[in-house]
Homo-oligomer: A and B are copies of this chain.
């Protein structure tokens, strides 16, 4: 199996420049641990997913791209593909699970994509059918080298802005972001520890990395976490990357995720979805190696009622 290398990430960085926001690293003077946040919630679609989706569409040849793209996703990847397709002026079909929060469905439709809602178990099959019937390119949420390379640009930027970073905290589920970030960080700053963070209610990846082989949890078991962006499991491709580039993996509780959403709102002035709070939750609640720490805030598309509830504590 060929793994993504840092040159792929560098090539992706050139492609996504001007479409994905070059997010700043935000120093957090209130934190005991020297902490910087990488606020991917500030991307135009509210999540890092724009990077991988845009890169994967950018590498298609022109004729293929003109036919349009199709994606299945729990939300943010959907929005990313719709946004990227609009940027290229090509049609997009998004297959979503029927329990996706309304805020994400509407955001995707607003980019002009056609939405098909199906039960979670049918998403992949329906997307493949649409791709074949309409001659569209399927852009998977993580199981694709150019998606991994695109997400890796987050890691590239962290090392650019904080060359002596010691610890990089990245949320993990499908593993596209953790794979790409790990590839970039370990290539450019091998001394840094790349630590994957997962909700303990969906900790199949952490369990698998510790076991040295992928383990499978049922979708129902993974769906227990509030972090709706982290309910998927790695593919063979991403798991192979994770084994190679992730130094350690830790879990955080649901209460810690909620508390961190509140802390990020009040101390960092960032609106963060549950999945987006997971990496920072580890910085605040886990005993990690010391040193300059960067935590990726992966997304901010949260139901306002949930955010209000969390703010009331």
**A residues adjacent to B (C-beta < 8 A):** 21-24, 26-30, 39, 41-42, 44-46, 83, 103, 110-111, 262, 265-266, 268-272, 300-301, 304-305, 307-309, 311-313
Cβ of A16 to closest chain B Cβ, rounded Å: 14
A-B contact pairs, 21 of them (CB 8 A): A21-B24, A24-B24, A24-B42, A27-B44, A29-B45, A29-B111, A103-B266, A262-B304, A265-B271, A265-B307, A266-B304, A269-B271, A270-B270, A270-B271, A304-B311, A304-B312, A304-B313, A305-B312, A307-B308, A307-B311, A308-B308
Q: Verify A42–B39 contact, CB threshold 8 A.
A: yes
List the B side residues contacting A311 at CB < 8 Å: 304-305, 307-308, 311
Q: Verify A270–B269 contact, CB threshold 8 A.
A: yes
With A39-B42, A269-B272 known, 6 other A-B pairs at CB within 8 A are A21-B26, A29-B44, A30-B110, A41-B269, A304-B312, A305-B312
Cβ of A133 to closest chain B Cβ, rounded Å: 30
List the B side residues contacting A308 at CB < 8 Å: 307-309, 311-312
List the B side residues contacting A27 at CB < 8 Å: 21, 44
Q: Who on chain B is nearest to A299 by CB?
A: B269
In the bound complex, how far is the Cα of B67 from the Cα of A104, in angstroms? 54
Q: Verify A269–B24 contact, CB threshold 8 A.
A: no
Query: Given known contacts A304-B311, A311-B304, A311-B305, is B103 in contact with A269 (CB within 8 Å)?
Result: no
In the bound complex, how far is the Cα of B111 from the Cα of A266, in angstroms? 16
In the bound complex, how far is the Cα of B83 from the Cα of A110, in angstroms? 42
Cβ of A282 to closest chain B Cβ, rounded Å: 21
Cβ of A191 to closest chain B Cβ, rounded Å: 24
Interface centre among A22, A262, A312, by most chain B C-beta atoms within 10 angstroms, is A312
List the B side residues contacting A300 at CB < 8 Å: 269
In the bound complex, how far is the Cα of B237 from the Cα of A267, in angstroms? 33
Q: Who on chain B is nearest to A86 by CB?
A: B29
